[in-house]
Amino acid sequence: MAPGAVIDDVRSAVRAGSSWSSPKLGSGIGFEDVTVSYGKLVVLASLSLTIEPGEIMALIGPSGSAKTTALRAVAGFVRPASGRIRIGERDVTDLPPHARDIGMVVQNYALFPHMRVEDNVAFGLRARREAKEAVKQRVAECLRMVGMSAYTQRYPRELSGGQQQRVAIARALAVRPRVLLLDEPLSALDAQIRHSMLQELARLHEAMPSLTVLYVTHDQTEALTLADRIAIMRDGRLVASGPSQALYREPPTRFAAEFLGRANLLPVTLEAADAGDGLARVRLGEISLLVKARPGLSVGRDCLLCIRPHGIAMRPGGRPSNELTGVVRAMQWQGDLHSVTLETQGVLIRMICAPLRDPPSLGVRFPIHFAAEDATLIPEDA
């Protein structure tokens, strides 16, 4: 989208917000069977998803999976072909953006270039004809929240990317929105600033726990760091959702496993669906392993065993623990960690561990271990 169009959108959103005198308690967001089409092309198909009041929900997925489209539907910039959108108790589907009580921050900040920082932040409040003194106080408060009090008189071009994004966040929050919509807010920043901004966003949310946040990103680390729950999109469809840790530890599908981070996905066959204590027994080549049971799978079923690389260790840990002996096929030192790839039972397994003082040489055989609870099953066709 052209930068000018983004600024127009943000201008429209920023004029919104709840009444100054009655800050609202948290309001959730509801997508009820929402479909969005461009011409004949359906880009978002039947999205049903609820974001609870005060929750941070990350919407992640590959490029083109319709994350931004879903967010823009909440903002009111795209109109669903069918379905309803709710913010709190209100059905906002037919409301214009400025009547939806949203705050929005986009990738390229979209600050008004001809306005100083304080005027950018004051924009929405002035559009609503707030009293001058109240505007001044609220602008100062929001700039303090994002650590930008010393920059009130600067123009956006006189700020770094991270500083511009802080101002954009202050502007979005100034009108006390019911929900905050963040569209790849950190992706234009370099890695170090991104990391500190993530922590600041978490801190901001702690200070405003009733604020509901929809956070669009294609970066799983951002999602896992910040979000209470994650929804994964693929080709315009919601393919998985759940609490961040649970989704990471027990991904329902291969796609979810791989999209959320590095994963060993080993071909196994189910030998015993219930081996007691919530465990199952599977066969990998010639050996038998204890893993976390997954309801609904029957004996003989081909599955993928998902083990994250840092769930594998050189010493036994967790109970019960599995042992496999492998041959070292690759070894990589990456500063604060070692990545070791071993071959066992005809498959490659990658382990990530703290830097090894005495790393094994290529071709050497040695045992590795993983706890049953760190190994989860995914039906092969999921």
Ligand X SMILES: Nc1ncnc2c1ncn2[C@@H]1O[C@H](COP(=O)(O)OP(=O)(O)OP(=O)(O)O)[C@@H](O)[C@H]1O
The residues of the shown chain that bind ligand X, judged by CB under 6 A, are 38, 43, 61, 63-69, 218
Displacement of CA 143 from its chain's centroid (Å): 25
Nearer to ligand X, 219 or 250 (CB): 219
Taking the C-alpha atoms of residue 146 and residue 167, their distance in angstroms, rounded to an integer, is 7
Q: State how far the alpha carbon of 1 is from the alpha carbons of 172, 217, 344, in Å.
A: 20, 17, 49
Q: How far is the CB of 42 from ligand X (least distance, A)?
A: 9
Nearer to ligand X, 68 or 376 (CB): 68
Q: How far is the CB of 175 from ligand X (least distance, A)?
A: 25
Nearer to ligand X, 37 or 339 (CB): 37
Q: How far is the CB of 105 from ligand X (least distance, A)?
A: 15
Q: How far is the CB of 183 from ligand X (least distance, A)?
A: 8
Peptide bond before residue 309 is cis, with ω within 30 degrees of 0 = no
Burial class (CB in 10 A: 0-12, 13-18, 19+), 287: middle
Q: How far is the CB of 220 from ligand X (least distance, A)?
A: 13
Nearer to ligand X, 190 or 235 (CB): 235
Half-sphere exposure in the Cβ direction for 55 (13 Å, CA): 20
Q: State how far the alpha carbon of 354 is from the alpha carbons of 17, 25, 195, 273, in Å.
A: 48, 45, 21, 34
Nearer to ligand X, 66 or 282 (CB): 66
Residues listed for the chain: 382
Contacts for 38 with CB less than 8 Å, ≥ 6 apart: none
Q: How far is the CB of 68 from ligand X (least distance, A)?
A: 3
Cα pseudo-dihedral 166, 171, 172, 177, rounded to 10: 130
- What letter would DSSP give residue 310? G
Nearer to ligand X, 104 or 143 (CB): 104
Q: Return the bridge partners of 332, or none.
A: 339
Nearer to ligand X, 72 or 292 (CB): 72
212-217 vs 179-183, strand pairing mode? parallel
Taking the C-alpha atoms of residue 49 and residue 34, their distance in angstroms, rounded to an integer, is 9
Q: How far is the CB of 55 from ligand X (least distance, A)?
A: 20
Phi and psi of 239, rounded to 5°? -110, -15
Nearer to ligand X, 69 or 164 (CB): 69
Name the packing angle between helices 3-14 and 67-75 (round to 10°). 40
Q: How far is the CB of 60 from ligand X (least distance, A)?
A: 9
Nearer to ligand X, 158 or 235 (CB): 235
CB 347 within 8 A of CB 286: no
Q: Return the bridge partners of 233, or none.
A: 238
Q: How far is the CB of 197 from ligand X (least distance, A)?
A: 19
